[in-house]
Amino acid sequence: MGSVKDLHVETQATEDRLGRGRFVFSDRYSVFDWGSMPDDIPRKGEALCVMSAYFFEQLEELGIQTHYRGLVERGQPLRLQDMATPSNCMEVDLVRVIQPRQEGDRYDYSPFTGRLTTVLIPLEIIYRNYLPEGSSFRRRVESGRVDLADYGLECMPDPDQPLELPVFDVSTKLEDTDRYISWADAQEIAGLTDGEMQAVSGTLTTANQIITDRCREVGIENLDGKIELAFGEKRQLLVVDALGTPDECRFQVDGFHVGKEILRRFYESTDWYQHMKEAQRSGDAEWREMAGNPPHLPDDLRSAVSDLYLACANELTGHRWFDEVNSLSEVVGRLQQWA
């Protein structure tokens, strides 16, 4: 399915019926659009799986529909409260993925009409509670591609200043290189009605609120994140893919990024990173081969990043799935040497 998650299909989705399948959250990770890097992060897949399950179940308690069916233990999908141990396997309903046709430098979204069911909406739906340094939103404002007034902002807030109201953003999902687009363009290419656009906004608001509130309860700031949506059998919105993990959200503890940002920083200090960026700038389709293989992570960094994911899962879910790790704040303290 992708560089960090595998999909096992049990029954295919059809035009009017959801399918059934299982996500296997792997210990792989990816940075810089490279694909799978040479190391695994031990038990990262289990941590991501239980965090995502936790937030899916929180959404469902509020009446938000999702494709989540449970975590797999002894071959059966179970709710978190019934799990004896963590799992890296999640059972889900499956939808169809219709790829837009590429025509030169444009994409044809004409198959996406107001009648489609059991299909992935070809958008990434993004919330921003902060606009930190390095944010793509800041870069787009500085380049003149985005007008702050369109997002209800009079001026650019400080990077560490929480927004009074979150900024909602949207990008394409199924193009070779995804691009940020306006909400009007998003509605057009996805074939959404005005009512469905309101439902998308309401779902994003609820997801952001649930994740952000829980994060604050355990001392984490949820800077931004994304959700993915699909239509079910009656064209009802479903939250799909994964939700509320450090791979879908940008989490911080006392200014320290909880997730793979520390791995990006490690690689940015290597010669390989410079070779890789030069290869990317060349525009050559074989840029990965030109860059050469990434170096391996130091063992102590790899182990500490594993503990970061495990401690985050323990604290966000309120359950000690991983007894081998201490508190998230203790793990963050150990990782400061790599910051």
| Backbone region of residue 257 per phi and psi (left: phi > 0; alpha: psi in -120 to 50; beta: other values) | beta
Tokens representing residue 55 in the block: 């937030």
3-state secondary structure of 92: strand
| Backbone region of residue 258 per phi and psi (left: phi > 0; alpha: psi in -120 to 50; beta: other values) | beta
Please name each of the domains of the chain with its CATH number: 5-129+166-338 (3.30.470.20)
Q: How far apart are CA 254 and CA 271, in angstroms?
A: 30
Max Cα distance, the chain (Å): 55
Tokens representing residue 173 in the block: 């999902």
Burial label for 96, CB within 10 Å (0-12, 13-18, 19+), is middle
pLDDT of residue 339: 75
Residue 2 has pLDDT above 90, yes or no: no
Token pair 């939250």: residue: 239
Q: CB of 194 within 8 A of CB of 80? A: no
Element (H, E) at 302: helix 299-317
Choose the weakest-confidence range: 41-55, 99-113, 235-249.
99-113
Query: Which DSSP state fits 93?
Result: E
Q: CB of 166 within 8 A of CB of 174? A: no
3-state secondary structure of 278: helix
- pLDDT band, residue 122 (cuts 50/70/90): very high
pLDDT of residue 35: 85
Q: CB of 156 within 8 A of CB of 130? A: no
Q: CB of 244 within 8 A of CB of 7? A: no
Whether the CA torsion 41, 30, 124, 95 is positive or negative: it is negative
pLDDT in tens, 262-312: 999 999 999 999 999 999 888 888 989 999 999 999 999 999 999 999 999
pLDDT in tens, 136-189: 999 999 899 888 988 889 899 999 899 999 999 999 999 988 899 999 999 999
DSSP 139-207: HHHHTTSS-GGGGT-SSPPPTTSPPSSPEEEEEESSSSS--B--HHHHHHHHT--HHHHHHHHHHHHHH
Tokens representing residue 288 in the block: 């990965």
Q: CB of 95 within 8 A of CB of 237? A: no
Percent of the chain clearing pLDDT 70 (strictly above): 99
